[in-house]
Amino acid sequence: MKTTAEIRVDDRKAALTAVLQSKEFTRAPALAKLLKYLCEKTFEGRVHEIKEFSIATEVYGRSENFGEKRDSVVRVEMSRLRKRLVNYYGDEGIGQALRIVIPAGTYAPEFEPTATAVAMPPDLPAAPPSPRGKYALITATAASILLVAAVAVIVLRAPRPATTPNSQARTSIDRDSGVGFAVPHPIRILAGSSTDKSVDRFGVEWAGDRYFAGGEQNRWEFGGKEMGVPVRTIRYAPDQLYFRSFRFGNFSYRIPLPEGKYDLRLYFSEVIFLPTEFGDGVENRRIFDVLMNGQPLLSSFDIAADAGGANTAIIRAFSNVSPVNGYLTLDFRPILSGAWLNAIELIPNNTGRPRPIRIFTRNANFTDHAGSLWELDRYYSGGRQISDGEIVGGTPDPELFLSQRYGNFSYRFPVPSGRYALRLLFAETFFGPHNRGKGGPGSRIFNVASGGVILLHNFEIFKEAGERRSIEKVFHGLVPNAQGQIEVAFEPVVQYAVVNALELTSER
């Protein structure tokens, strides 16, 4: 699927014109004005100027004294705009080739090609409502209404599963049915979730549990007593949503996929077995195998051992994944205790290389001057995020330095095997003669390490770059550990460690 930057400006302008001339938007001139402003900034390559302050002053005529904490007009109107766009593409704009989307947490519009189906699947199920309840039958009409809101045109209908007399195992798909799609698209499934659609903190939609056979949904037994979902805070979780439900036991997934290459991510966390009061861990309490299309993917997998403890996310990433005969099959086979899964993510990627990871230490996405997307802060544990609003020099993208993560913290990036380049962006906006913290050389010193190797020793941003000046450090040849993670740790020596942005790109 093409990115916004790869779609011609003329096509993007045509998509905007179609929206502005629709009945949905001619009835809402204020929202039309807002959308036009956002899109024109994007067409002109001035995405970095799309900020809450500029929208408030340039679109809504607020004064230079506008304060986002006192006046929520921009956030309120952006929410209304997103909803109206969904309504438009679910009705008048259903046949448009491009869809304008404004992801939650950002104000910059994106342009997405819409998918069309060539082979309507006879049976493609929705998520079941509960472990012991009946499957909801979704008619083709109801399903199409739901999917129009998400700009898909695949008809869904779930068959009633057959129940075997000797097992409570359930299935969510007719395993002999054929399913086809015209265009590869992301598939994200929250294992065990009965909610048809959930939206994470990044504005990304996740489907409820589907395509499975066997296992138990959000329940397990301990000492003969049936237990539900423990509510824990999961370290290194991009979003706690991914770990609020699970599938447990001996189970499999048979996911319909169009031909192509995909990036696969499997999400796990051990929340049942917990450390003892004496500090003993929970290794060797749950072990299982994972097979993909009948071949070993994870052998004798121990969630807690890979994650480094209980209540800690471990995300295993794999690249160049392909379906076999239109399906990707994942089998979870218990060895010790039941197998466990929290979520599945499949992203189309025919490049043959893992997708770059670019992290912006702020609760918003950002597109830089080269058109690269930097995403909301994630994959971290520890530290605190702060935005001080200081403008730095020496960079074409000063917005990347408006916020930072500081303290004693680390990032764990889930990546496929290979070699990677790590790029770290810094700026000293607190210490220095003209900054709030005063001081200068020696005011902030810290180390950066990865895989037990010191990348930066006694690093001083001020000493190397001065105050309010950007500096970047690039490291090559990093490889993931045996658990499929590249961990980057920031360790204070004097005052807090700090980073503004991180980029991890494949070198293979």
Pair (441, 380) in one structural domain = yes
Q: Are 336 and 258 a contacting pair, CB within 8 Å?
A: no
Q: How many domains does the chain have?
A: 3
Residues above pLDDT 90, as percent of the chain: 59
What's the pTM? 0.66
Residue 204 falls within a domain, yes or no?
A: yes
Pair (257, 390) in one structural domain = no
The mean per-residue pLDDT over the stretch 441-452 comes to 97
Tell me, what DSSP letter sits at residue 192?
Answer: T
d(CA 57, CA 362) in angstroms, rounded, equals 22
- Pick left, alpha or beta for residue 474 (phi over 0 → left; psi -120 to 50 → alpha; otherwise beta): beta
The rounded radius of gyration (Å) of the Cα atoms in the chain is 24
Pair (82, 210) in one structural domain = no
The domain boundary residue, chosen from 322, 348, 374: 348
Residue 118 falls within a domain, yes or no?
A: no
Average pLDDT of the chain? Answer: 84
Strands of 397-469 (E only): list them: 403-414, 420-427, 445-450, 453-459
Pair (478, 451) in one structural domain = yes
Tokens (6 digits) for 58: 């340039």
Largest CA distance in the chain: 77
Q: Are 310 and 211 a contacting pair, CB within 8 Å?
A: no
Residue 126 falls within a domain, yes or no?
A: no
pLDDT of amino acid 313: 97
pLDDT of amino acid 166: 36
Strands of 302-392 (E only): list them: 314-321, 327-336, 339-341, 343-348, 357-360, 366-367, 373-376, 380-387
Q: Which range has the worst mean pLDDT, 120-129, 176-185, 329-338, 375-384?
A: 120-129
Pair (386, 418) in one structural domain = yes
CATH code (residue 411): 2.60.120.430
pLDDT of amino acid 155: 31
Residue 127 falls within a domain, yes or no?
A: no
d(CA 494, CA 210) in angstroms, rounded, equals 51
Q: Are 290 and 306 a contacting pair, CB within 8 Å?
A: no
Pair (146, 66) in one structural domain = no
The domain boundary residue, chosen from 315, 348, 381: 348
Of 8, 18, 67, 77, the closest CA to residue 43 belongs to 8
pLDDT of amino acid 467: 94
Pair (304, 364) in one structural domain = no
pLDDT of amino acid 390: 83
The mean per-residue pLDDT over the stretch 431-438 comes to 92
Pair (366, 502) in one structural domain = yes
Residue 435 falls within a domain, yes or no?
A: yes
Q: Are 218 and 381 a contacting pair, CB within 8 Å?
A: no
Residue 421 falls within a domain, yes or no?
A: yes
Pair (224, 338) in one structural domain = yes
Q: Where are the alpha helices (DSSP H) in 171-310?
A: 303-307
Tokens (6 digits) for 246: 């699970």
Please, which residues have CB within 8 angstroms of residue 65's CB and are 6 or more apart in sequence?
none
Pair (182, 307) in one structural domain = yes
Residue 102 has pLDDT above 70, yes or no: yes
Q: Are 493 and 449 a contacting pair, CB within 8 Å?
A: no
pLDDT of amino acid 124: 40
Tokens (6 digits) for 43: 């067409």
Pair (102, 196) in one structural domain = no
Q: Are 16 and 100 a contacting pair, CB within 8 Å?
A: yes
Residue 125 falls within a domain, yes or no?
A: no
Q: What is the number of other CB atoms lying within 10 angstroms of the CB of residue 141?
A: 9
d(CA 148, CA 142) in angstroms, rounded, equals 10
The domain boundary residue, chosen from 96, 113, 130: 113
Range of the domain at 47: 4-113
Tell me, what DSSP letter sits at residue 150?
Answer: T
> Over the stretch 37-96, which tens digit does the pLDDT of each residue have?
999 998 888 888 898 888 989 998 888 888 766 778 888 889 889 989 988 988 888 888
Tokens (6 digits) for 294: 């009948």
Pair (284, 159) in one structural domain = yes
pLDDT of amino acid 425: 98
Of 144, 9, 151, 173, the closest CA to residue 86 belongs to 151
Residue 394 falls within a domain, yes or no?
A: yes
> Over the stretch 7-23, which tens digit does the pLDDT of each residue have?
788 889 999 999 999 99
